[in-house]
Amino acid sequence: MERERSRRELAYVSRSPVTAAQWRLALAIVILSAAAFIPAVPFARVPLAKVPAFIPSYEAALALSDLITAILLFGQFARLRAAALLVLASGYLFDALIIVPHAFTFPGVFSATGMLGAGPQTTAWLYVFWHGGFPLFVLLYGVLGQRRDDRVRGSVGAVIAIAVAVVATLVVGLTVLATAGHDLLTVIIVNGDYSLLITKGVSPIVWLLSLLALAVIWRKREHSVLDLWVGVVLCAWLLDIAMSAVVGSSRYDLGWYAGRTYGLLAATFVLSVLLVETNALYGRLERSLDDLEDRHRALEQSTADLERSQEQLRHSQKMQAVGQLTGGVAHDFNNLLTAIIANVDLLDKLPGATPQHHVFAAAALRSASRGARLVKQLLAIGRRQMLRPEIADVNRLLAEFVPLLRRAVGERVEIELHQDPELWLCSVDAAQFESALLNLALNARDAMRNGGRLVIETRRATHELGVGGDLEWKPGNYVAISVTDTGAGMPTHVRERAFEPFFTTKAVGEGSGLGLSQVYGYVKQLGGNVTIDSIEDAGTTVTLYLPWAEASRVPPAAEPAREEPASSGQTVLVVEDDAEVRQGVVAALGDLGYRVIAAASGTEAIAILGGKQPLDLLFADVVMPHGVSGVEVAREALRVRKGIKVLLTSGYAPDVVVAEGADDRFPMLAKPYRRHDLADTVHRVLTDAPRAR
């Protein structure tokens, strides 16, 4: 365990040994810096143009660079717990913070004499504290780095908080000393000339302090990559102090500008190395994940046959119970189908799956899809299916549904199907369309007591404004589906009221009077129309007019391969009381690249929402036990989590969902759904702009 930890720690620049190439690069940078320094020395006191805007621009870049470096170093400390790293991170934080009062008190930048109650000596002394304080932190870093065990015990967060507080207090104290305690400090600058800084030995002491810190780093027995680049920083730091405060003597001369250039370079070295390290760590992480995936694939392959047998057994058991499903039972069946589809989808996408596995998975998915269609048909019989219009080929829907119609009307009724081979596509909800056809077929059967013929015909139709007597019927192209029986027909007064809710000519208990009104409302909602032509003792023709859709002539019989939307690493809270469904959804979302947190009840979900885990999406079942519904969880999520997105799901019929309080504010994914439906819907909800409330 200890050896494995040491191996992992070598991935960090604070532990990784220096290579020969890194030594050569660092040496080249130091030599180039010195080569630029030497020819500039004779001209260090040459006055240049006074550019007050240089100070805020330069020091803002410096502070930002030092702050990012401090954050990255604190991050390494959090993982390695090295006291030396804590000190170095604190040094960079000190650097970033003390730059702020230095910039605000600099005369001529934000005000003529500087802000924060600055005096003539304030900025100069803040420069001394700044350039003398950082080497002290580096000196302590070098000393602690030579200890065999410098690991810090206790809470990492608490230790970092204390370090930040100490540094902030130190900066505030030094700022107060340089401003409110200005008169206590000796004079080191007069009218922008800081020759006194040199003659009184202040800047040489600061320079020697930096040299001492460099010597301590250099004398370490073993150098890490971080040690090497901290040493390069100190070299640039020495050139900064020498050029601006030893060789140079006044503000805005060449030495002053050159020294700050060295200071900016010094701030970028360690930051650049840490950023390069971060990129390298991502590469190592990717390789580790590839290795983990290979191992996982081998494990999945060894259990694939058993899981496939279990899925087939569960599917067989569920199909045997189909005949008993009604209303709320359909919700349970939809949950079972959701689990099956999710798991088969996952098995089909396993990297090690063979072509034969894909064939088996496709067969299982086709069976599950047929089961889903059967549930929709059962719900259509109960008139409780959600309206989900889609572009469809009515000819194909009829060809698939007619066998069920034959069983529904019985052997005494002969069904004929006449289809227009050039029929347009139209916008239709397949389940509601089948429900409408079933209603019409059962009414026709009841009208043919002694049997007869039922003709279903499709054709293209164009409606013109004012024709047909219905002002709501918009002109345009339609797909017409006519259902004609050879039954008793309707008298005029019955035909005129046929679409009225609760109107029926059947005996009490034989009909509710809602069948044709449901058909009429469904077609009207789609923007179409329904007409009835009937002659007593000759038969009835009911024609549905569905608006055509401008799309390709024939939709594909099987779904083409599609690219699932990629995750950006968002976190999804899945709330589902059914364990199998929850397991399948969690696995599918995880396989799609999302981070997933699962809850088995609304109460558990609300507790998670009250925590500190980052959450981007709530995906919750609407109806759950234990008194807290998915809608209540959704409302609580919007209350306590700013910006969270919500997606609800349910296998219940619409009236149950509405009774639970769901409204148009929350998008809904109906069960059962395929993996690509889940991927598309989750991606769409996450990328949609927040809804105004």
Q: What confidence tier does 1 reach under pLDDT thresholds 50, 70, 90?
A: very low
Least confident of 302-306, 337-341, 572-576: 302-306
Q: What confidence tier does 170 reach under pLDDT thresholds 50, 70, 90?
A: very high
pLDDT in tens, 419-431: 999 898 988 888 7
Query: Does the CA dihedral 344-346-347-349 come out positive or negative?
Result: positive
Q: State the burial class of residue 675 (Cβ atoms within 10 Å of its Cβ: 0-12, 13-18, 19+).
A: buried
Query: Is the Cβ–Cβ distance between 188 and 123 less than 8 Å?
Result: no
Angle 266-270-273 from CA coordinates, rounded to 5°: 135
CA-closest candidate to residue 428, choices 462, 472, 385, 469:
385
Please give the Cα distance from 204 to 210 (Å, whole number).
Answer: 10
Give the SS3 label for residue 95.
Answer: helix
CA-closest candidate to residue 62, choices 125, 138, 134:
134
Dihedral angle computed from the Cα positions of residues 42, 45, 46 and 50, in that order, rounded to the nearest 10 degrees: 150
pLDDT in tens, 462-476: 887 645 545 567 788
The full DSSP string for 316-343 is: HHHHHTGGG--THHHHHHHHHHHHHHHH
Dihedral angle computed from the Cα positions of residues 111, 116, 118 and 123, in that order, rounded to the nearest 10 degrees: -90
Q: What's residue 647's pLDDT?
A: 92
Give me the mean pLDDT over the 63-88 stretch.
88
Query: Is the Cβ–Cβ distance between 454 and 541 less than 8 Å?
Result: no
CA-closest candidate to residue 194, choices 248, 129, 147:
248
Q: H helices of 538-651, where?
A: 579-591, 602-609, 630-640
The full DSSP string for 360-396 is: HHHHHHHHHHHHHHHHHHHHHHTT------EEE-HHH
The residue with greater pLDDT, 437 or 378, is 437
DSSP assignment, residue 419? -
The full DSSP string for 534-563 is: EETTTEEEEEEEEEEE-S-SS--SSPPP-P
CA distance to 325, 337, 381, 586, 650, per residue, from 673 (Å) = 18, 8, 21, 14, 10
Identity (one letter) of the amino acid at 433? F
Structure tokens at 396: 């194909």
Structure tokens at 485: 């029986």
Architecture of the domain delimited by 394-549? 2-Layer Sandwich (3.30)
Query: Does the CA dihedral 390-382-682-357 come out positive or negative?
Result: negative
Query: Helices H, strands E: what count in the chain?
Result: 21, 12
* H or E element at residue 232: helix 225-241
Q: Residue 9: which residues within 8 A CB-CB, separation 6 or more?
A: 15, 80
Half-sphere exposure for 635 (CA within 13 Å, toward CB): 9
Least confident of 78-87, 294-303, 655-664: 655-664
121: number of Cβ within 10 Å: 21
Q: What's residue 391's pLDDT?
A: 86
Query: Is the Cβ–Cβ distance between 307 and 360 less than 8 Å?
Result: no
pTM, to two decimals: 0.42
Please give the Cα distance from 469 to 270 (Å, whole number).
Answer: 82
Structure tokens at 44: 């260090």
Q: Which CATH code of 1.25.40, 2.60.40, 3.40.1350, 1.20.1070 fits the domain covering 2-13+62-288?
A: 1.20.1070
CA-closest candidate to residue 394, choices 437, 440, 444, 454:
437
CA Rg, the chain, in Å? Answer: 39
Domain ranges of the chain: 2-13+62-288, 302-378, 394-549, 571-687
Query: Is the Cβ–Cβ distance between 181 and 115 less than 8 Å?
Result: no
pLDDT in tens, 547-584: 888 754 444 444 444 566 767 789 999 998 888 888 88
Q: What's residue 352's pLDDT?
A: 67
Tell me the CATH class for 571-687. Answer: alpha beta
* H or E element at residue 481: strand 476-485
Q: Do domains 2-13+62-288 and 394-549 have the same CATH topology?
A: no
Start-to-end C-alpha separation, the chain: 54
- Look up tokens 């916008």; give the residue: 427
- Look up tokens 């019409």; give the residue: 440
Give me the mean pLDDT over the 530-537 stretch.
85
Give me the mean pLDDT over the 199-211 stretch.
85
Query: Is the Cβ–Cβ distance between 622 and 662 less than 8 Å?
Result: yes
Q: Residue 230: which residues within 8 A CB-CB, separation 6 or more?
A: 88, 138, 141, 217, 270
Please give the Cα distance from 134 to 96 (Å, whole number).
Answer: 10
Please give the Cα distance from 198 to 216 (Å, whole number).
Answer: 25
Q: What's residue 90's pLDDT?
A: 94
78: number of Cβ within 10 Å: 15
Identity (one letter) of the amino acid at 342? A
Q: What's residue 559's pLDDT?
A: 46
Query: Is the Cβ–Cβ distance between 583 and 339 less than 8 Å?
Result: yes
The answer to whether residue 510 scores a pLDDT higher than 60 is no
Give me the mean pLDDT over the 609-620 stretch.
91
Least confident of 69-78, 110-119, 321-330, 490-499: 321-330
- Look up tokens 């054709």; give the residue: 459
Max intra-chain CA distance, the chain: 123
pLDDT in tens, 665-685: 788 888 888 888 888 999 999
Please give the Cα distance from 668 to 675 (Å, whole number).
Answer: 15
* Exposure b/e, 438-464, CB count within 10 A at least 16 = b: bbbbbbbbbbbeeebebbbbbeebebe
Query: Is the Cβ–Cβ distance between 274 and 280 less than 8 Å?
Result: no
Please give the Cα distance from 92 to 237 (Å, whole number).
Answer: 13
Q: What's residue 577's pLDDT?
A: 87
The residue with greater pLDDT, 17 or 317, is 17
